[in-house]
Structure 1
Amino acid sequence: MNTAIDLPNALRQLPLETPATSAWPGLQQHLSQKRSWPKPALALVASTALAVLLWQALFHNAPTPEAADMQATQQTDIQSLMEQSARLETAFYAQQDDAISSASIIAANLGIEDQLVVIDADLSEQSTPEQTRALWQQRVYLLDQGLQLNRTNADFNAVGRNFDLALAITN
């Protein structure tokens, strides 16, 4: 015979456990011994830190016109690589067809996807524009290679040939 137990009410009816000794008196004594900084000292430290930060921002980070032009060019180049990567990625996944692909083609596609995950993780970290550009170039190159692999596989299958067999013959 099964009986239903109203678990929330049953848990509420359990007696509450209390510790043998209270930790509050010791904690209260420790808290009263805590040092506090005088307010003028805190204000002086904060204003000094703010002054140093403003001085660095105004005088040390001012980009030269050449650096600004180069940064704009790099940003445009990175944006172009990002757009190219998006187009290639869409085509790469659209071209994959596990119904006609052999295990080696599927494994190669999975390897490419694993490498993309590593590149994407690296892209999510803060890096210099040069590093970011290099990572996007790697991503574009990898997607292009994967797309070529899947297209070649589809072309061979379209004419009734086996791509793995063609690879084995050339080796």
Structure 2
Amino acid sequence: MNQTPPFTAFASRTLRLVGILLILTSLLNFVILLVPLNLQDPQWQLNVTIQLVDRGITPLVGLAFLVAGFWIESFLGKPQGDGQRPLSVHSAASLDLRFLAFWLSSVLGVVFLLLIVLLFSTAGAVNEQALTQINQEATQAQAQLATRLTAEVGQQRSKIEGLLKRSSPPECRH
């Protein structure tokens, strides 16, 4: 008689529950990140993309727990005459949940691939914006420097002319 340890059913349920909770909380977290939707701002796009990619490991771990729970559950079934488990309501729901999990992993994979493209295009736009701002600040600094230099040269010139007038002999003054 093939006995399965009693903790395997509990482990299977626990792994599936933890996996589902991780997936749901990460999806909720993704939605919360997008709440102040500001698609026109490249800096916002860059920050959101980086945060989504950084938090992308959470649904992956959730899917791993979910698949591990299903894997343990597959060993709990008692084979019947042809080696197949009977299809019950519980196993049909498991198949639906497996399908949803693999569908979600496919969708998340495509989303993360698209985020790579968005990251590169947004990083280029942010880079151009930063270069434009640096150029504007450099132009302003050059203008301020030219103004200060002109004023300083004028002051020094007037001081020098004043000193020259005072130190020159009286007959040279007109």
TM-score, normalisation: structure 2: 0.31
Question: Comparing both structures, which one devotes a greater share of its residues to helix?
Answer: 2
